[in-house]
Amino acid sequence: MNDTPGVLDRLRGGVPAKRHNARTIAALTANPGCSRRAVLDAAGVDKPRLAERIGFPGNFGQSRFALARGNGFEAMLKRDDCALLLSVLREVLHLAAPTVSYDDLGADDDATLGARHGRTRELLAAAAGAALIDHPLLTLDVAGRQVFLEPDLIAFQAGGRLHVVEIKSFAIVDGQADSAKVSAAAVQAAVYVLALRRLLADLGHDPALVSHDAVLVCPRGFSLRPTAALVDVRKQMSTLTRQLTRLASAADLAATLPAGVTFDTSLPPEELTAALSRVEARYAPECLSACELAFYCRHEASGSTATLGRPVRDALGGVDTVEEALALAAGTRTPTEEQSEAAALLRAAARLRAEALLPAQDRGNSLIPGGGAGS
């Protein structure tokens, strides 16, 4: 009989599963090919604690300054029943309705999350005209466990169209913003759109009523004056859906691990690193901004071409280590059939580099066909 939940509990060492949120679910899309991350996330292992235990603590989360700025910006927008936020939304969503109802479901503790989710369902089921729902609570199934998610706001247009609203504190200057921050916000918004569509379907409504255009509200320039833009999150949603499905199969992969493998963080570091070595990783520089185990995996992968990034790894297919790449470039190693294309590329790169390093006069001569430096 398949006891996948039991296997996942064992992998965690019996401690409660680490709770996911939109940020951690969004991070699942950063390195979809990594089995190690998929297994650890499916089991709900506390990755920051694990990284710390094996001597490679990460450096995650927003700075205190960014958090304070973000909280201040959000509080300003939501003051007086979201008066300022509503003025921005009216513009970007073309909200013509003279009155827009406002419901604040408030923040609460873990014990009352279920009740707030119930209240969100009631409001969504009953909403008719233009409305704002503040502090709504949605759910999403992640590797067989229900995860509560809290978007900043849900906005209704008359006609029943819903939009997820994300408030971020990074600035939009002359219509431009930091692309990495915008894409991170888009993935988070995609998590909420997905959860909201599933809730609507559950309520018997058409999930397509939830727009794939999320509203991003940010400070304009260096002031705290707000501005809003629509962000199409369809691409992020399909990646996310794929990744969530993959997480379910990661639970099956976990079930194939030997019985002794566990990531119980009370174990000695050597046992934890031995357990990690049983699950294949796929390190890429992108891990540094998306996974708490990045410093460990980078260390483990040092000397491999993977540490140089996906484009290099793809271009050097079949050449796994930097040492091999250098030997192929220097012509001191005979390439295998699989490596022949990469080897030709490496030799050409080495030739160009050697030419570029020649003194200018010799470089000129080396470019004369048939002539070489000193001939």
Q: Under the rule (CB under 6 A), what is the footprint of ligand SF4?
A: 31, 34, 36-37, 281-283, 287, 291, 293-294, 297
Compute the distance between CA of residue 306 and CA of residue 289 in angstroms, rounded to an integer: 16
- In the complex, least distance from residue 142 CB atom to ligand SF4, rounded to whole angstroms: 16
Provide the minimum distance between the beta carbon of 276 and ligand SF4 in the complex, in angstroms, as a whole number.
8
Q: Which amino acid is at 344?
A: A
Q: Which is nearer to ligand SF4, 189 or 294 (CB)?
A: 294
Coarse DSSP helix, strand, coil percentages of the chain, rounded to the nearest 5 percent:
50, 15, 35
Task: Compute CA distances 170 → 11, 69, 163, 208, whole Å.
Answer: 38, 9, 21, 29
CB of 24 to ligand SF4, least distance (A): 12
Cα 309 from Cα 360, distance rounded (Å): 32
Choice between 153 and 287, CB closer to ligand SF4: 287
CA 236 to chain centre: 10
Q: How far is the CB of 296 from ligand SF4 (least distance, A)?
A: 7
For ligand SF4, the closer of residues 31 and 339 by Cβ is 31
Are the C-beta atoms of 22 and 188 separated by less than 8 Å? yes
How many Cβ atoms sit within 10 Å of the Cβ of residue 184? 19
CA distances from 104 to 111, 120, 324 (A): 18, 10, 60
CA-based nearest residue to 269, from 51, 15, 53, 58: 53
Decide whether 186 or 287 has the Cβ nearer to ligand SF4: 287
| Nearer to ligand SF4 (CB atom), residue 230 or residue 257 | 257
Q: What's the closest the beta carbon of residue 293 comes to ligand SF4, in angstroms?
A: 4
Of 40 and 138, the one with the shorter C-beta distance to ligand SF4 is: 40
Token pair listed for 55: 């001597």
Measured on CA atoms in the order 138, 131, 239, 187, is the torsion positive or negative? negative
Residue (20 or 197) nearer to ligand SF4, CB: 20
Closest to 170 (Cα-Cα) out of 207, 109, 216: 216
DSSP letter, residue 210: B
- Least separation in angstroms between residue 247's CB and ligand SF4 is 13
CB 49 to ligand SF4: min, Å? 14
